Amino acid sequence: MSKVALIMGSLRRPGNGIGIANWLTPILRKGFENSKTDVVFVDSTKPPLPLGPLVDGSYVPAEIRDPTKYLHPNVREWATFVSACSGFVVLSPEYNGSYPGELKHTLDHLYWEWHKKPVLLVTYGGGGGLRVAAQLRGLLGGPFKMKVAERGVAIKWPKGSGHVPSEGEAPEWLQSFEPQVLEALEEFRASVAENAAA
């Protein structure tokens, strides 16, 4: 059984990330229901996260190729989890034209574990998070050498819509993005299957 992890880009509370993740997770599972892939929601407030700021500056992550060799136990746990995944869905808001710092910290603790792993971007904000999607494409496809899906999902926030509730049914405007998620999953699913078979 391969594993795809949904990683939230923001720990802001109260925020919209948890509500969108709770809406998105069953759609991702639906998209993978005929494959041998489990979709796991990574709650950013629980192990193997939170990591917070870089916890050990005595080495550069690119120097470590074996997840068991990280000095800090939290980083070892995170590295082992990431190594076991066949792909990732990154859910990120756009804050002031960029991605949240905690998402960068989540990525920067590791290096080799991200290489060649498929990733699907789901961004949100007033403009759909298009600027953060472009930045993440450059970051993930560049230094981290991940396989970024061509088609992502840009959730444009309607004015005056308020917060997405963390529990219960998602608002109708958010539900209208389900077809876009399922379409984006077509390419991503094939990339995950290829990675799992490698």
- Token pair in block for residue 188: 């991503």
- In this structure, what CATH number is given to the domain that contains residue 139? 3.40.50.360
| pLDDT of residue 160 exceeding 90 | no
Task: Report d(CA 53, CA 70) in Å as an integer.
Answer: 15
Helix (H, G, I), strand (E, B) or coil at 4: strand
Task: Report d(CA 102, CA 98) in Å as an integer.
Answer: 12
Helix (H, G, I), strand (E, B) or coil at 51: coil
Q: What is the pLDDT of residues 1-44, one digit of tens each?
A: 899 999 998 877 777 899 999 999 999 999 998 888 999 998 77
Task: Report pTM.
Answer: 0.92
Is residue 71 packed enough to be buried (19+ CB in 10 Å), middle (13-18) or exposed (0-12)?
exposed
* pLDDT (0 to 100) of residue 56: 63
Write phi, then psi, for 124 (nearest 5 degrees): -145, 155
Mean pLDDT of 162-187: 92
Task: Report d(CA 183, CA 196) in Å as an integer.
Answer: 21
For residue 57, name the pLDDT band (cuts at 50, 70, 90): low
Under a CB-based contact definition with an 8 Å cutoff, are residues 21 and 6 in contact? yes
| pLDDT of residue 186 exceeding 70 | yes
Higher pLDDT: 101 or 23? It is: 23
| pLDDT of residue 50 exceeding 70 | no
Write phi, then psi, for 123 (nearest 5 degrees): -120, 160
| pLDDT of residue 157 exceeding 70 | yes
* pLDDT (0 to 100) of residue 46: 76
* pLDDT (0 to 100) of residue 28: 96
| pLDDT of residue 176 exceeding 90 | yes
How many domains, in total, are found in the chain? 1
Q: Which domain holds residue 69?
A: 2-197
Task: Report d(CA 5, CA 94) in Å as an integer.
Answer: 20
* pLDDT (0 to 100) of residue 75: 87
* pLDDT (0 to 100) of residue 45: 73
Higher pLDDT: 59 or 153? It is: 153
* pLDDT (0 to 100) of residue 196: 83
